[in-house]
Structure 1
Amino acid sequence: MVMRKLELPLSQTQKVRFERAIERLQSLSSTANSDTSVIVTGSIPVNHEESFLKGHGTSEVDGELLATVCGVVERVDKLVYVRTLRARYKAETGDIVVGRVSEVAQKLWRVELNCTQDGVLKLSSMTTTDDVQRRRTSADELNMRNIFVEDDVVCAEVRTIQRDGTLELHARSHKYGKLEKGLLLKVDPYLVRKSNHHFHYIESLGIDLIIGRNGFIWVGEHVQVRDPMMVDDQKSDTYDADREQIHTSLETRQSICRMGNAIRVLANLGFTVTLEVIMETANLSNSKNIDIHDMLGSEFHVVVAESEAERRRAKRQK
């Protein structure tokens, strides 16, 4: 966890409270021997009596291990390296990503992913409406704009990384595809840790949360994935009902906005974005009777920092 300097106007009392909360968080981080933030030429604490391997962003000078980049010290067994902050997204095969379509080209879509290059989603890497694996025809190519157009928000998985750095995506599952009726947020990619679960359905609120490894996060109305074999049979029966469900309810929209502001606050503070912390932050705003638009104010940022310090202290005592 990396704490940032809060770029919001703070009263003297708020400033004292915030600095105290940050000191507690830094103290808990150091005692737990967890991530330590360093600057260029900053010293990295290691046990020289035990063997260790120098990784990316480190250099040994006069028997002392120094950082060559700004970031967070990571330790994997004996390997010690520095994970850079505020860097562009560096993809890995299998990453779940959220992006925005930037171009509809021949037999593919280009997707902006907060990376050095756009991702490429080929028509052949998309599941068809009839859910049958087959070669794509010229008719499929002519109908590409019926699937995605420019500025559409989509979810996909990184299939391969080409030698030139191009990210080849695929969406061969009904959990991937176009995202609608929601909010797209952007955080620094280092705030998103790789997990086995990047898709979350928050049943109590009726919303979906997709935490993309590239720092793009989607909060939207829950979409029920239906069996494609049953869609045609039900289409005529559900057409009128679907027309009545065009608009998202006010309650759902408020939940989406509250979750979105919770993510913005966590990103402003430099806290790792996980489902647990997002839910706790959103619930905290409810328990404190803080309006959605007031969540982005100075007071709630201080309250969240204090709450996170207390949460980590309680977690260590268990």
Structure 2
Amino acid sequence: MAVDIRLATLRKRVSLPVEVNKLQVSPGDTITTDTGFMRGHGTYIEDEKLIASVAGAVERVNKLICVKPLRTRYNGEVGDVVVGRITERRRSAKDELMMRDYLQEGDLISAEVQAVFADGALSLHTRSLKYGKLGQGTLIQVSPSLVKRRKTHFHNLPCGAAIILGNNGYIWIYPIIERKEDEEGGFVTNFEPVSVSDREVISRLRNCILVLNVYKMLLYDTSVLYCYEASLHQQIKDILKPEVMEEIVMETRQRLINQEG
């Protein structure tokens, strides 16, 4: 019987230069004692210390620090990018007939939140050319609280694949589409077979995003790319092994800390 054994190795310790670089906190944890920072959501000040009031991931924007809860329901905001599957239609019969020329029940799409109603329902649109039906790729679900809000949630990564980081916690990974010179701009649904090399990149990205989700790290283009690069010395099937995940996360965290300075 074959047994897969991983020998213990001496890991390089990650040094955190300041308290504020702590990526995860629990209620009551001190985030920083530096009085130069401002309190944001999920924090309070006591004895000149900035303390977490919820369990979550620390997010810093210049001097403002907030804690993003790890487990929350998705509460949409106008302008959010979402990824989802069409299950039914709620508009008039005329609208439904017109929309069926483009979208059907069961289609996986990306869209933008157009309006938020009092009962929490969202109005979505796909009128921009970058939205619409999704083609070949893979879908991952993560905690919505881990998806960092950015100016754009569509990224062509240098590793050779593209991702849509939905604010609702659904992430779409797909091969980058090479446009022909005579094609016009806009969203193009691609149903061509995906090459083996592209599938390998997509599979590695998928596992890396799952690792970041397990360790409750914020998901955005840089963290995903750093995690991908940290995994390159591992086989794709080994990335989700607990000891391998820990090594990849440690390296990813250190690179993110070094980037922030």
TM bucket, shorter chain: 0.7 to 0.9
- More deviation, 291-300/157-166: 291-300
Q: C-alpha distance in 2, partners of 1:155/1:216?
A: 10
Where do residues 21-36 of structure 1 align in structure 2 (5 Å cutoff)?
Answer: 21=13, 24=14, 27-28=16-17, 30=19, 33-34=20-21
Contact 2:85–2:109 (Cα < 8 Å) also in 1 = yes
Give SS of 1:262's match: helix
Partner of 2:195: 249
Cα distance, 1:87 vs structure 2: 0.8
Give SS of 1:296's match: coil
Cα distance, 1:175 vs structure 2: 0.8
Structure having the higher helix fraction is 1
Partner of 2:167: 213
Amino acid aligned to 1:201: N
Confirm or deny that 1:222 pairs with 2:168: no
Contact 2:82–2:113 (Cα < 8 Å) also in 1 = yes
Q: C-alpha distance in 1, partners of 2:222/2:59?
A: 22
Q: Which runs of 5+ in 2 are unaligned?
A: none
Length-normalised TM-score, structure 1? 0.64
Give SS of 1:142's match: helix
Amino acid aligned to 2:200: Q
Cα distance, 1:76 vs structure 2: 6.4
Cα distance, 1:90 vs structure 2: 2.4
Partner of 1:235: none
Cα distance, 1:143 vs structure 2: 4.8
Contact 2:147–2:165 (Cα < 8 Å) also in 1 = yes
Partner of 2:255: 311
Confirm or deny that 1:71 pairs with 2:56: yes
Cα distance, 1:56 vs structure 2: 4.4
Confirm or deny that 1:40 pairs with 2:40: no
Larger radius of gyration: 1
Cα distance, 1:313 vs structure 2: 5.7
Cα distance, 1:34 vs structure 2: 3.9
Cα distance, 1:195 vs structure 2: 1.2
1:154 to 83, 89, 109: 109
Q: C-alpha distance in 2, partners of 1:190/1:150?
A: 28
Contact 2:175–2:198 (Cα < 8 Å) also in 1 = yes
Q: Deviations over 1:37-83 (max 9, x none)?
A: 443344565567x8966x64456779987654323455668876543
Cα distance, 1:307 vs structure 2: 1.5
Where do residues 77-226 of structure 1 align in structure 2 (5 Å cutoff)?
Answer: 81-107=66-92, 138=94, 141-202=96-157, 205=160, 207-223=161-177, 226=183
Length-normalised TM-score, structure 2? 0.76
RMSD (Å) for aligned C-alpha atoms:
3.8
Percent sequence identity over aligned pairs: 33
Q: C-alpha distance in 1, partners of 2:133/2:42?
A: 38
Confirm or deny that 1:261 pairs with 2:207: yes
Aligned residues: 252
Amino acid aligned to 1:262: C
Cα distance, 1:211 vs structure 2: 1.3
Q: C-alpha distance in 2, partners of 1:174/1:292?
A: 34
Amino acid aligned to 2:235: D
Contact 2:25–2:52 (Cα < 8 Å) also in 1 = yes
Contact 1:153–1:178 (Cα < 8 Å) also in 2 = yes
Cα distance, 1:159 vs structure 2: 1.3
Q: Deviations over 1:127-168 (max 9, x none)?
A: xxxxxxxxxx93x53253443333322111111211222111
Cα distance, 1:183 vs structure 2: 0.5
Q: C-alpha distance in 1, partners of 2:65/2:128?
A: 37
Q: C-alpha distance in 1, partners of 2:217/2:247?
A: 14
Amino acid aligned to 1:176: Y
Cα distance, 1:227 vs structure 2: 2.5
Give SS of 1:28's match: coil
